[in-house]
A and B are shown apart, each in its own frame.
Chain A
Amino acid sequence: MTRSDTIGFAPRDRDWHPPAYTPAYRSSLLRSPRRQPIALDHSTGELTGPVFGHADVSSLDSDLLANFAAPDISPIGERILIHGRVLDEQARPVPNTLVEIWQANASGRYRHKNDSYLGALDPQFGGCGRALTDQQGRYQFRTLKPGAYPWPNGGNDWRPAHVHFSIFGHAYAQRLITQLYFEGDPLIAHCPIVNTIADPKAVDRLIAKLDLTETVPFDMVAYKFDIVLRGACSTVFENRLEGN
């Protein structure tokens, strides 16, 4: 393999992502590395990643309205469809990649033994799902709109309604976890976790927009949430070598 054949990724824009140390989000105080991360030339371990297939995901996995409920019983809450595409920075679809989500129920309570919020658990709602993207990079989940909830941070902090997303891409360098917020939620602007991101344009990438075209009449409204992963770049590795 010659150097010019080598595929790599441009370094992440760390001013676009939240920095490690964000004092208003108190959990970051003691969990933020203080040294700058060291640049790593990409090798096979970063340029590959685990590959997922249909043996890993069943059709029920993307239906949070049904994947924990007893047959013919629905969990309580506002029924929604979340859909979108996984693309790379060059706007190419990322097919056959694993998208995993988790969320609170409609009262803002997680099915987790460490969550003791007053909001009630719903015996019909689990709150986790997974899907593989199709050839166009599309995914969708049927779920409930999660509730907002208070959390211990500054004394009176509230999480806006949100859904956690985990996405693999095809290379470990693309691995990403983020959160989806909902258009129009007034709590977004007040959230210390949202505000770990400095650039309002970056925050806007996390706000799913109401999508009337995909709404299912008399069933559920739809929100559209496209996800962009880092894109491969054929010249990066060579550039990095010159910097050695």
Chain B
Amino acid sequence: MQKSPFADPNAGPAPKLPETPSQTAGPYVHIGLAPHAAGCGFDQSTLGEKIVPATAEGTRIQIDGTIFDGAGDPVRDALIEVWHADPEGIYHTTPQTTTKQRYGWGRVVTDFETGSWQVKTIKPGPCPDPIGTPIAPHINLWIVARGINLGLHTRLYFDDETQANTADQTLLRIPDLDQRNTLLARYRGGAGTVSDPRRYRFDIHLQGAAETVFFDV
């Protein structure tokens, strides 16, 4: 268990200032957060493009998905941030340097034509919660787009982690099995190497019968 950056013994419960309210990221979020995707001459920025270093050890995975709106149409202008632990369950919180790349955080955008998105990274391991209970391997997702007034938090778990998922306290808190299953990425083959990553499918439904479970983080 890493020390929280907020492990401040004086941290008090009484807020003095209200949180700044959220506003939608709008349709042009790419300019600010994924300039290479805006298609208008920004190509100098690579912040968030690579989620793990090319040399990182572990099981290589590739997740493909689409975000659907309540009419079943793909959302073509969304941005997803991912944040996940390494295979040992450790979240890396050291800054990037000229010689060491950041680990476990990155951004992907949905394709302007098809709405599909793809994440390539290393499969995270289980991480203990603050009282020591293991949390099943998962990737934290944060979704922003036009029409989303407050960024949506969800978790991507893996359907080939049956045992860990069965004991995961967050999954167990979702009584409806269909809803719980909205958080499972589906294994589609692959060995886990760079040339043959384990491939998963994870679609996100913002609304409707298959609405993904979102969290009040």
Quote the shortest CB–CB distance from A10 to chain B (angstroms). 7
Residues of B within 8 A of A (CB): 1-2, 4-9, 11-33, 35, 38-42, 45, 47, 69-71, 73, 75, 77, 81, 83-85, 91, 93-98, 102, 104-105, 112, 127-132, 135, 138, 140, 142, 144-153, 169-170, 173-174, 179, 206-207, 211-217
B130 near A1 with CB under 8 A, answer: yes
A7 close to B7 (CB less than 8 A): yes
Given contacts A5-B7, A39-B216, A56-B47, contact A193 B28 (CB under 8 A): no
- Chain B positions within 8 Å of A55 at CB level: 95-98
Q: Shortest Cβ distance from B208 into chain A, in angstroms? A: 8
Cα separation A170 to B42 with both chains bound (whole Å):
27
When distances are taken between beta carbons in the complex, the residues of chain A under 8 Å from B217 are: 40, 42, 46, 172-173
> Are B20 and A205 closer than 8 Å at their CB atoms?
yes
B residues near A202, Cβ cutoff 8 Å:
18, 21
Residue contact B1 to A33, C-beta cutoff 8 Å: no
What 10 pairs across the A-B complex have the smallest Cβ distances? A102-B32, A27-B147, A53-B95, A31-B147, A232-B6, A50-B105, A113-B39, A89-B15, A18-B149, A30-B70
Cβ of B114 to closest chain A Cβ, rounded Å = 15
* Candidates A12, A39, A43, A52; contact of B135 at CB < 8 Å: A43
In the bound complex, CA of A44 to CA of B128 (Å): 8
**CB contact under 8 A between A128 and B93, given known A48-B5, A197-B21:** no
Segment with Cβ contacts to B, from A70-78, A176-184, A210-218: A176-184
Across the interface, do A100 and B32 meet the contact criterion of CB distance under 8 Å? yes
Query: Is B216 a contact of A38 with CB atoms below 8 Å?
Result: yes
Enumerate chain A interface residues (CB-CB to B < 8 A). 1, 3, 5-7, 10-14, 16-20, 22, 25, 27-53, 55-56, 68, 87-91, 100-102, 110-115, 126-128, 130, 164, 166, 170-173, 175-179, 193-194, 196-197, 201-203, 205-206, 227-237, 241
Are B145 and A10 closer than 8 Å at their CB atoms? Answer: no
Q: A28-B149, A128-B31 are in contact. Are A47 and B19 (CB under 8 A)?
A: no
CB distance from A154 to the nearest CB of B (A): 14
* B42 & A126 in contact (Cβ 8 Å cutoff): yes
Neighbour of A53 across the interface among B4, B32, B71, B97, CB < 8 A: B97
Residue among A56, A112, A113, A229 with max Cβ neighbours from chain B (10 Å): A112
Bound complex: CA A11 to CA B94 (Å) = 27
The CA of A110 and the CA of B9, in the complex, are separated in Å by 45
Given contacts A102-B29, A178-B23, 11 further A-B contacts (CB under 8 A): A30-B207, A32-B148, A44-B130, A51-B102, A90-B16, A102-B31, A112-B30, A113-B38, A114-B77, A205-B21, A228-B20
* Known contacts A17-B22, A111-B40: A47-B6 contact under CB 8 Å: yes
| Minimum CB–CB distance for B10 against chain A, Å | 9
Chain A residues closer than 8 Å to B7, beta-carbon distance: 5, 7
**Cβ A44 vs Cβ B85 within 8 A:** yes
If A12-B216, A28-B147, A45-B140 touch, does A206 touch B23 (CB 8 Å cutoff)?
yes
Q: Could you tell me if B38 and A112 are in contact, using CB atoms closer than 8 angstroms?
A: yes
Distance between Cα atoms of A102 and B40 in the complex (Å): 14
Interchain CA distance A233-B9 in the complex, whole Å: 10
User: Which single member of A128, A179, A227, A234 contacts B13 (CB below 8 Å)?
Assistant: A234
Point out which of B17, B45, B130, B215 has the most chain A C-beta atoms below 10 A from its C-beta. B130
Contact of A30 with B22 in the complex, beta carbons under 8 Å:
no
Of A7, A172, A241, which is within 8 A of B6 by CB?
A7
Contact (A228, B18) CB under 8 Å given A37-B214, A172-B217, A175-B142: yes
CB within 8 A of A30: which of B11, B32, B71, B94? B71
Q: Which residues of B contact A37 (CB under 8 A)?
A: 152-153, 214-216
Q: B17 is contacted by which of A7, A17, A89, A241 (Cβ under 8 Å)? A: A89
